[in-house]
Structure 1
Amino acid sequence: MMVALFSAGAAQAAPAASGEGEPAPGCVQYAASWRYTHVGNGCDTAYRLTVEYADGTDVPCREVQPGTTVTFPGYGTGGNAVRGVRLCPSPSG
């Protein structure tokens, strides 16, 4: 499923001007729509990730295992652009 979802027009996780955490590595990709943002982990390592939005909306971090996809909120009807995917700190650290 991840291949079909992220094969064409997928964005790689990219750095943004602000926000906490480092940008996710290039093997993490996302596809944003008005309703959902699907984040796929094509890496060999699990990561705790969050999505960064243009207006600074804060969404909880989620652990994404290798080869899986998780869903975050989309950009909404107001066009709150998704700027990228960021790494989250470990919950025990």
Structure 2
Amino acid sequence: MSTRYILASLSYFSIFFAGVILPLIIMLVTNDDYVRRHAGRALVSHILPYFFVVVGLFSLFAVHPFFSIGIILLLGAIALILVVWNVYMGIRVLREGRVF
């Protein structure tokens, strides 16, 4: 298995232990376009939950409390989907690099 596949998948799996920092470092340090593209995608998917937290906090000041609860539940579900997507993409990239 090549280093490029390991770095690309590690940028997705870093949602559990390094968050935004590892994909950013990988994206800035590497010269490989494949790894850089996957690190950029992982970086965006790691930043989106922070954006959802800000939107959820602003929705707390909504006029109707059920609207706030609905928005927070929706954004939480989307954040969970992003975590699952990162795991899926990390496994997919590792499977691309597997030698048969």
Normalising by structure 2, we get a TM-score of 0.24
**Greater gyration radius:** 2
Structure with the bigger percentage of strand: 1
- Normalized per residue, the structure richer in helix is 2
Name the TM-score, length of structure 1 as normaliser.
0.25
**Larger RCO of the pair (alpha carbons < 8 Å, separation 6+):** 2
